[in-house]
Chains A and B, each alone.
Chain A
């Protein structure tokens, strides 16, 4: 997989508890900002963008979300992952009338989409793999997640 240099233990979160999408996006953004991956403007930008262009995706294996925003809020490209204890409602990408209950979140802090195209393609392949998604949800440490993303 093409996740090399795009993953970091510090921004992979397991057993996350959140009551709503906004709280979750805030938590993940704060963590990215704390580790200097994004600028202070990232949090508001990603929350606003989620409202305007939702990223919930209903997969065979359950709901996920891939929140992202424009590149100017990002210092260094990285992918933050959160596995939730209980799913939170996101609006569905392309159809905001539908709700997706997501318990796996890939927050994409992108610098340039074209250079990260392979990673994005790999990510889409991964999320469509039900067995992989099951393993992601069963991960007991952040190293498990990194290994699943890098090796498979």
Chain B
């Protein structure tokens, strides 16, 4: 099997401390459980996003950011509430699996 392209995910919350920590750990666990390892996941704060976003393939947001970026984004609040989580997971899996 050819190696999949390595994807970089950025999880963003207000301070980059509490909620992004939980969400990034959760997304990592869920992807690993599905046998997906070709990704790197990092947490960040909203203020840091503009300087970091160009290095990433996907934004997972847990904060109210109005600004649109050039990369796809997924609402990560569902990883805290458990409500409609499957939709977000499917979107993340699709992007990580893209060539």
Contact = CB atoms under 8 A, between A and B. Distances in A.
A59 B26 CA distance: 17
Interface in B35-83: 46, 61-64, 75-77, 79-83
A7 to B, nearest CB: 17
B22 interface: yes
| Size band of the interface chain A makes with B | 20 to 34
Nearest to A68: B18
Interface residues of B, number: 23
A117 B21 contact: yes
B77 A59 contact: no
A6 B19 CA distance: 18
Interface in B7-28: 13-15, 17-19, 21-22, 25-26
Given A96-B64, A117-B25, A124-B22, A59 B82 contact: yes
Contacts of B83: 58-60
Contact of A128 (B14, B64, B75, B81): B81
A15 interface: no
Contact of A53 (B22, B63, B76): B63
Given A54-B64, A59-B83, A93 B19 contact: yes
Given A57-B80, A59-B81, A59-B82, 14 more contacts: A53-B13, A53-B15, A53-B63, A57-B81, A59-B83, A68-B17, A70-B15, A93-B64, A94-B62, A117-B25, A120-B18, A120-B21, A124-B79, A124-B80
12 contacts: A52-B14, A53-B14, A57-B77, A57-B81, A66-B19, A71-B17, A93-B19, A94-B61, A95-B77, A96-B64, A113-B21, A117-B25
